[in-house]
Amino acid sequence: MDELPRLPFDNPSVLGIAPEMLALQREGPITRVQTAGEDAWLVTRYDEVRTLLADRRLGLSNPHPEQSAKSAARRFMVALMFGDDHDTEAARHARMRTLLVPRFSTRRMRLMKTRIEQHVDELLDQMAAGTPPIDLHRALSFPLPTMVICDLLGVPLADRERFGQWARGTFDQSDNQHSANTFQQVVDYITELVARKRIEPGDDLLSELIAHKDGALSDAEIAHLGNAVLLFGYETTIVRIDLGTLLLLRNPAQRALLAEKPELAPAAVEEILRLGVGGKGSNAIIPRYAHSDITVGETKIRTGDAVMLAIGAANYDGRAFPDGDLFDLARHKPKSHLAFGHGVRHCIGRTLARIELTAVFERLFRRLPDLRLAVPEESLRWQEHRITGGFDEIPVTF
Ligand code: HEM
């Protein structure tokens, strides 16, 4: 029998979808692949990925965890999302959404928007005052989302350097010990923060959880939710600021249009989210397990099978987005991309992430009109070993 294709697929480019992934997408919506953990179904076309994300017969939890060896990083991520126990996933996850979603209210988002725009202006002023080459990652992409998480959780800005490396450490799949040690630091930090906020509450997410139903939630439950918000809430956005900058640098006409018409920033952000896939694209795959038998076209997925939903490939699918690989600010009523997932686990922080990215891309190319890479694009290194992927530096000049 022929060997199954093996994830992750090599990609000669630092951006975009691996050629083998696109070839499989051309052949059909779903195919059998090998992964580091186990054989799985890989779903690559937009319609099928979207439909399966909304299908309650798929879950994050593995009905047979003993059959799959996962990195510590993956186990922490799954546990943070209450997907670590097949019997309790549905109930515990629903409770997580009930508690977290209202914390991202329109009122809070509106208040945060003004602060975020001020942060971006300050960061760009500092950048412009520096002497290039400057590392855009360090000067802009990293500081902004970490500042925003400080505002959201009510922690001093000075703590950013401390927690700023924790998402990378926790989600480092190459070193289980490093991942476990880092995650412990997160747990200790948030546990202490919750204890402090019980005594001195503020206008922040943790204080609201403490006050919920007159203090009905335990410290441990609040800390679990706080850990998730901290660890999912900044690195994801850092990576998209870097990717968005690179995508616009690759597309000078679109970048000029955006600089001329900053009101196009929301459209630019949607294209950035849709096309922003780096390296081998491992961070653009949502893993699930079948909790019942499911049929996709001719294919029967059996209970317990692993299913990889390739949201990155789906977002490039020409069936859903004509000329799918083109960055196009003028797409007419495009379908909603899947960069934030879809269905019951649709990203809770998506409005906040959009506000941050819009504030950046409304301003970046107006404030620094000559912005360009200070190194060849091929020399940038995507950090494949982290679940979140990302670059460590983006040297630029202007
Ligand atoms: C551009 C930045 C971001 C991207 C691309 C992103 C992407 C995603 C995706 C794809 C999922 C679904 C995972 C799945 O279905 O298994 C998700 C879930 C989640 N995201 Fe985001 N995210 C971003 C920013 C944020 C921010 C800023 C926060 C919070 C401050 C956040 C909090 C969460 C949480 C708590 C979940 C879990 C939802 C659940 O399991 O029901 N994310 N995110």
Centroid of ligand 1 to alpha carbon of 236 (angstroms): 8
Maximum distance among all alpha carbons in the chain? 65
The pLDDT, as a whole number, for residue 67 is: 81
Q: Decide: 353 in ligand 1 pocket, CB within 6 A.
A: yes
Query: Cβ–Cβ contacts within 10 Å for residue 159, how many?
Result: 15
Q: Decide: 92 in ligand 1 pocket, CB within 6 A.
A: no
Read off the amino acid at residue 323: D
Q: Which contiguous run of DSSP H or E holds residue 233?
A: helix 219-233
Closest residue (by CA) to atom 36 of ligand 1?
347
Centroid of ligand 1 to alpha carbon of 356 (angstroms): 14
DSSP state of 268: H
Q: Decide: 97 in ligand 1 pocket, CB within 6 A.
A: yes
Contacts of 92 (CB under 8 A, 6+ apart): 82, 85
Query: Cβ–Cβ contacts within 10 Å for residue 243, how many?
Result: 24
> Contact, 254 vs 326, CB < 8 A?
no
The series of mean pLDDT values per 10 residues for the chain, 398 residues long, is: 89 97 98 93 98 98 87 96 97 98 96 97 98 98 97 93 94 97 98 97 97 96 98 98 98 98 98 98 95 97 98 98 98 97 98 98 98 98 96 98
Ligand 1 atom closest to the Cα of residue 288 is 16
The pLDDT, as a whole number, for residue 148 is: 98
pTM of the model: 0.98
Is the omega angle on the peptide bond into residue 133 within 30 degrees of 0, that is, cis? yes
The pLDDT, as a whole number, for residue 361 is: 98
The pLDDT, as a whole number, for residue 1 is: 54
Ligand 1 atom closest to the Cα of residue 357 is 1
